[in-house]
Amino acid sequence: MDQDTLVSSEPDIGAGRIVLTSLDEAELTPEAAFWIWIPERDRWWFVVAGGGLADLETPAAFIEIHGVLRALSPAFPIEIDEIAVESMDSPLIQLLSRLVRMAGVGGVRLTNNAINGVLIEDVYVYRLDPQPHGAKPDSLPAHEPRSGDRGR
């Protein structure tokens, strides 16, 4: 898929949204999902991370994702070799989460952005939600740990 195809046509962006929604329905619920242009490889990658994929080893994560893709359609436009599974702790996810935080299934495109000196040429983010699902920063208890609470 070429860069112009993704950014100018709805089907590829729509396909990513369908895959993300399908992963949610399969209870894999990634905390991050986005397309990113990798100029060194001259291609787009659909990246997912965290959620139900976090506890799986990479091969098991791809088996789960492949099952979701197979259930959608035999000729679905996102191939398994266009998908990357990352950890929420990966440098790429950490870098992007400095700029974007989005829960649910949204959409924001960032082009030619430098984050901490790293150029991100093009990325389309559907979700980047490093918080545990259901937890909001202001809903966490705000108290100093008592001496007996440390390390628990």
0.85 exceeded by pTM:
no
Query: What does the pLDDT look like over 15-42, one tens digit per residue?
Result: 899 899 999 999 998 999 999 988 888 8
Alpha-carbon distance of 67 to 125, in angstroms, equals: 23
Distances (CA, A) of 109 to 50, 89, 96, 125: 21, 22, 12, 6
Query: What does the pLDDT look like over 111-125, one tens digit per residue?
Result: 888 888 888 889 999
Distances (CA, A) of 37 to 41, 55, 146: 9, 26, 47
Tell me the average pLDDT of the chain.
78
Residue spans per domain, the chain: 3-132
| Inter-residue contact 95 to 114 (CB < 8 Å) | no
